[in-house]
Amino acid sequence: MAAGKVSARNERRSFSAPNPEQFEWWADLSAARDLTRHDKAQYTFLLSWFESWRAKSHLAPERASAVGFWRSQVQSKERTSWQEKQWAAIISWYLRWLELCQQQGKCCESLAGRVRSAVDHAGARRGLAYRTRLTYGGWAARYALWAGSRSRVLDTEVAREWLSHLVVDRAVAFSTQKQALNALVFLYKDVCGMEEVDLQVRFRKRAKRIPVVLNRTELAQLFAEIKDPMHRLMAELQYGSGLRLRELLQLRVKDIDLEASTVTVRCGKGDKDRVTVLPRSLQARLETLIEENRKVYLADRLERQAGVYLPPALARKMPRAGERWPWFWIFPQGKTSRDPESGVVRRHHVVAGVYCHALRAASQRTCISKRVTSHCLRHSFATHLLEAGTDIRTLQSLLGHADVTTTMIYTHVVERLSRAGVISPLDG
C-alpha cells in the first residue's frame, strides 16, 4: 500500500508540480512572423498528425520519432513532389525547434501530451485494458488542450465547465458523455491523487433505439457481395452465432468445436464466458480454414516468430502458451505486425477496421437501404431466432446479456415485423 501511495505521488509530481518553463510548438508556430496564415495551417495539420501518431506509438518528442513518422506515414504512400518538399520543410522546422528546446534545457512535451502519458502510465499500473487507456488518455488530452494551463487542468470547476460544453455546445451522445466523465474521474483520482471527486454531472436521458435488422434476402445479398472469402466467412459466422465484433475477431482454434457445433466465447462483455451455436453450414469451410491456418502457424514457428497475443495475467502464468496451436487465431492477419503496446512483432488477428470496411463496401454494392454495420448481424441473429420460436431465456444465454430486459428489445422488433401485428386501416 505504501509503495502504491509513493508511486501515485511521483506521477502527480511529474504532471502537476512546478517544472521548468514548457515550450509547445503550436505556441511558437502561432507567433512566427516569417510564415503566412496558410503556411501555419499546413504546419498545424502535419504536426498535429505527427503528434497523434507519436502518442499512439508511445514515443517521445525527438528526432527518432520524427524519422519513424516520415518513413511509416509519409513515405508509405505515393506523394506529389511539391507535397513531399513542403512536408519535409515542416519536419525540418520541428527538428530545429526541438534542438533549440534541448539547448536551452526546456521540456518540449505539450501539456496535453504530459496528461496523456500520465493517464496511460497510471492505467497500465492499475491493469486497465489497452483500448481503455487510449480512450481515457485521449479524453484527458482533449480536456487539457481545452483548459490551456496546468492550474486549470487541476481545477474541478473547469472540468465541470468542459463537460457542460460537451453537452450544451457539442450535443454529444450519452456514451460519449460517460466516456469523458470516466476519463476525468480517473485523471483526478488515479493520477492527481484526489480522494473524492464530484463533478456534479447530470447525464442526458438515453433514448431507446430500435436495432437495425436485415431480413434474410438482404443478408443473402450482403454475403454475396463480400469478395474476400475470409471476410465473407467472418460475416456469416457473426450472423450465424450472434457474436459481437470483438468476440468474432478474437476467436482461437480451441474455441471452435466442430463436432459439437458450438462456439465458446472467452472473456466476452463483462469478462464473461458463454457458449453459442455454430452453424452446421459453415463447418466444412471452417475446417478448411483451420487447416490453412495450421500451415501459417507452422511457418511462424519455423521462423521463430513471437507467439500470438495473450491477456497479461495468462501470459505471466503460461509464458509459452502463445506459441501453441490451440491459442492461434481463427482469423489471423496475412502478415506479422508490431504490437502497439509491447512493441513485439507477432501475428495478430484481422483488424476490425478492415473487416468493417469490407461490410460497408459490400452493402454499398447492394440495394439495401439500411445502415449496415457489423452489429446488424448480431441483431439479425437475435430477431430471426425469436421469429423461429426460440424462448427469451435461451436467447439471453446465447447473446450473453446480463439482464433479460436487454434481450427484450428484440421482442419489439419481432412484433413490428410480424404479420400477426397491427394492420394499417388503409390495408383493412
**Residues annotated as catalytic (active site), given as ranges:** 244, 269, 375, 378, 401, 410
Q: How many CB atoms lie under 10 A from the CB of residue 197? A: 14
Give the type of residue at 401: H
Helix (H) or strand (E) holding 71: none
Residue 307 CB partners (closer than 8 Å, separation 6+): 320, 321, 322, 323, 324, 327, 346
The phi, psi pair for 4, rounded to 5°, reads -60, -40
274 and 225 Cβ atoms separated by less than 8 Å: no
- Cell matching residue 292: 490453412
Please choose, from the candidates 99, 114, 91, the residue with its C-alpha nearest in 3D space to the C-alpha of residue 45: 91
Measured distance between the N- and C-terminal CA atoms of the chain, rounded to whole angstroms:
73
Written as one string, the DSSP assignment of 136-167 is: HHHHHHHHHHHH-SHHHHT-HHHHHHHHHHHH
214 and 370 Cβ atoms separated by less than 8 Å: yes
- Cell matching residue 171: 450535443
107: three-class secondary structure by DSSP: strand
Beta bridge partners of 338: 345
Query: What is the distance between the alpha carbons of residues 330 and 90, in angstroms, rounded to a whole number?
Result: 44
Query: What is the distance between the alpha carbons of residues 370 and 59, in angstroms, rounded to a whole number?
Result: 41
Written as one string, the DSSP assignment of 337-398 is: EE-TTT--EEPPBPPHHHHHHHHHHHHHTS---S---HHHHHHHHHHHHHHTT--HHHHHHH
Cα–Cα separations (whole angstroms), residue 144 to 67, 162, 183, 203, 381: 27, 10, 12, 22, 43
Query: What is the distance between the alpha carbons of residues 342 and 347, in angstroms, rounded to a whole number?
Result: 13
